[in-house]
């Protein structure tokens, strides 16, 4: 994974040439739209074709409490939930990118999920028998801001108007780590964008993701 940080489009172009010259392979590039797309364009001209380009992903943030009541059932995941959280995380990944996360090495993905749980960055609500209803991760955490990733609602519970209250709970839990909560979303995911707006998120930038 390649993430351009604090780079202009021109600077990113130079880095793109370095990636091509050194034959570095990456599963994806994501970050601020301009430098991300600039790197992808250099790679395209060099004959490295992307499988998918998501050029417009609104970057959203909320700097205060959510605008709506939170679902108190959402909690920090515990180690004993690992197997069910792994199932939900893999389902989310495959639904989002179109292939299993285990293709890149099941051990690596299992370690990633275990790391999120052990650090208190996996948030979930499960049925009494253990099946996950909703999950989200704090994929990046700093003293100033967290980034929500891996949002997933069990298909059996979709369409019931539950997502907004769960996301409000995610914001409340993330505020224990940092005052600002952020996420990015595909521009075409109008349902999710409506949920995030209802919770109180506002657009502060634009990301892009390039999948290889």
Residue 143 confidence (pLDDT): 95
Complete DSSP assignment for 66-109: -SS---TT-EE--GGGHHHHHHHHHHHHHHHHSS-GGGGTHHHH
How much is the average pLDDT of 43-64? 92
Label residue 32 left, alpha or beta by phi (over 0 means left) and psi (-120 to 50 means alpha). Answer: beta
Instruction: Look at the alpha carbons of 176, 182, 184, 190 in this order and tell me if their dihedral is positive or negative.
Output: positive
pTM beyond 0.75: yes
197 alpha-carbon distance from chain centroid = 17
Express each pLDDT in 122-163 by its tens digit: 999 999 999 999 999 999 999 999 999 999 999 999 999 999
CA distance 9 to 13: 6
DSSP-derived pairing of the beta strands 52-62 and 28-32: unpaired
Express each pLDDT in 67-109 by its tens digit: 999 999 999 999 999 999 999 999 999 998 888 888 867 898 9
**Share of the chain residues as helix, strand and coil, in percent rounded to the nearest 5:** 40, 25, 30
Confidence of residue 177 (pLDDT cuts 50, 70, 90): very high
Instruction: Look at the alpha carbons of 141, 93, 209, 42 in this order and tell me if their dihedral is positive or negative.
Output: positive
CA nearest 87: which of 103, 97, 101? 101
Least confident of 19-33, 81-95, 190-204: 19-33
Residue 196 has pLDDT above 80, yes or no: yes
Express each pLDDT in 108-122 by its tens digit: 899 999 999 999 999
């Amino acid at each position: 994974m390649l993430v351009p940080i604090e780079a202009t489009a021109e600077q990113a172009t130079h880095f793109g040439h370095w990636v091509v010259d050194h034959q570095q392979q990456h599963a994806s590039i994501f970050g601020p739209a301009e430098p991300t797309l600039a790197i992808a364009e250099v790679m395209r001209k060099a004959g490295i074709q992307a499988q998918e380009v998501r050029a417009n992903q609104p970057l959203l943030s909320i700097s205060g409490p959510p605008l709506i009541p939170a679902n108190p059932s959402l909690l920090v995941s515990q180690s004993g939930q690992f197997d069910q959280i792994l199932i939900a995380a893999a389902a989310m990944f495959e639904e989002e990118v179109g292939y299993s996360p285990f293709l890149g090495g099941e051990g690596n993905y299992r370690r990633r999920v275990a790391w999120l749980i052990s650090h208190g960055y996996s948030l979930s609500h499960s049925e009494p028998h253990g099946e996950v209803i909703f999950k989200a991760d704090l994929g990046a955490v700093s003293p100033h801001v967290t980034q929500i990733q891996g949002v997933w609602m069990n298909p059996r519970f979709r369409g019931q108007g539950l997502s907004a209250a769960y996301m409000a709970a995610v914001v409340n839990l993330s505020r224990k780590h940092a005052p600002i909560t952020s996420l990015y979303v595909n521009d075409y995911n109008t349902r999710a964008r409506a949920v995030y707006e209802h919770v109180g998120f506002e657009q502060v930038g634009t990301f892009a993701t390039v999948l290889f």
